[in-house]
Structure 1
């Protein structure tokens, strides 16, 4: 029973982290869209932002896998 509160704390920390990463990913998506719509976007900046967004997506996927593991019946 001692591990249960520790696991709950970890789960809560992961959920908070997931929310933050998701918000950051959405903000980057909005920024990329805004830059692309101007038609004068710096390609290097766009590439950097897209790479950063992809890294966030990977982090989100890892946390989601830990929080919600696939259970094969």
Structure 2
């Protein structure tokens, strides 16, 4: 997989995580542990995208 394809794939995952966070926040009693985990995953993806963009 080339770098551009990897970045696009990561952007899709980032978007999906963002949607999952929104959905969880809309629940009457959001699960704070799940939100923390989703936010950590989203940040890892964002960091990986930034690293790939910087090296590209």
**Normalization by structure 1: what TM-score?**
0.72
- Give the root-mean-square deviation of aligned CA atoms: 1.1
**Which of the two has higher C-alpha Rg?**
1
More relative contact order, 1 or 2 (CA 8 Å, 6+ apart): 2
**Normalization by structure 2: what TM-score?**
0.93
SS at match of 1:46: helix
The total of aligned residue pairs comes to 56
Could you list the structure 1 runs, at least 4 aligned residues long, displaced by more than 2 angstroms after superposition. Answer: none
Structure 1 residue runs of 5 or longer lacking an equivalent are 1-11, 68-73
